[in-house]
Amino acid sequence: MIEAVLSIGGIGLLAAVTLGVAARKFAVEVDPRELALLETLSGANCGACGYPGCSAYAKAVAEGKAEPSLCTPGGQSTLEKIAHIMGVAAVGAAPQVAVVLCQGDNLRAAAKYRYLGVVDCVAAQRIADGPKICPGGCLGLGTCARVCPFGAIEMTSEGLAVISREKCTGCRKCVGACPRQVIAMTPLDATVHVLCNSHDKGAAVRKYCQVGCIACMICKKTVPEAYVIEDFLAKVVYEHYQESGAAVEKCPTKCIRDFVDGYPEGSRFAPPVVPVKRQEAV
């Protein structure tokens, strides 16, 4: 009996020693800066930095393979902490917010067929290029809202995605999820946007959307430096966004919206406070 106990104890001791030696031999040293960076990052694992998660980004920054200014969800405070850990000057990227370039919900934009499939924009787009006649309009099935880690996107009752200027951190996950590229990143300070994504000629747009851009040129004639017409679609020149508001009331289809006046119809988000001052990460 005693021999058996000693034998088992010896085997356990040998195993412990073997594991200890193996742990030292095969141990992977972790840069302490990497651990400090991981504690500092937002923890959203949103991919805004271009890496699959905060851990991968922290490792890349510690190894000098990534810029320390890519964690946009963390805000300026986080960027300053990252810079301090890495011993570099803090450089913050210009804050951006995602905007859905469409107001064509189920009441304002015509459908070419009734979609009864999986509630997913990517799946719907694969069937005859989507159920809406407009080739670039919001499909309204909520794929962007489901991937947003910050609850910044809502779907109106009539099937239009709306993004909160206060909640959006600029992580870009919704941009990558949209199969029609209806969502664009825009300067946070810019409040006026052409909410249309169709490049069809005006005559065609009028047939399927009440609030689409018809490339009438009125906005550009009103404020030449603040608008450009490209491929039958007006766009705000954001370098001159301060002047772009002069064309809002003159737009015949009301596809130009100033978010100072509120979100698109049907949104339950509280009226936006503009310009938005994002809460700094603690």
Question: Binding site for [4Fe-4S] cluster: residue ranges?
Answer: 46, 49, 54, 71, 134, 138, 144, 148, 168, 171, 174, 178
Strands 192-194 and 183-187: unpaired
Residues 6 or more apart whose CB falls under 8 angstroms from that of 183 comprise: 98, 99, 100, 101, 144, 161, 163, 174, 175
Between CA 276 and CA 136 the distance in angstroms is 28
Assign residue 187 a region: left if phi > 0, alpha if psi is -120 to 50, beta otherwise?
Answer: beta
- Rounded Cα distance between 169 and 63, Å, is 26
At residue 256, φ and ψ (nearest 5 deg) are: -95, 125
Tokens 């946007």: give the residue: 193
Q: Is the dihedral of CA 186, 188, 190, 193 positive or negative?
A: positive
> Given the structure tokens 């905060």, which residue do they identify?
54
Tokens of residue 2, six digits: 């005693």
- Rounded Cα distance between 64 and 198, Å, is 42
For β-strands 183-187 and 161-163, DSSP reports them as unpaired
Residue numbers belonging to the annotated binding site: 46, 49, 54, 71, 134, 138, 144, 148, 168, 171, 174, 178
What length is written for the chain? 282
Distance of CA 49 to the CA centre of its chain: 11
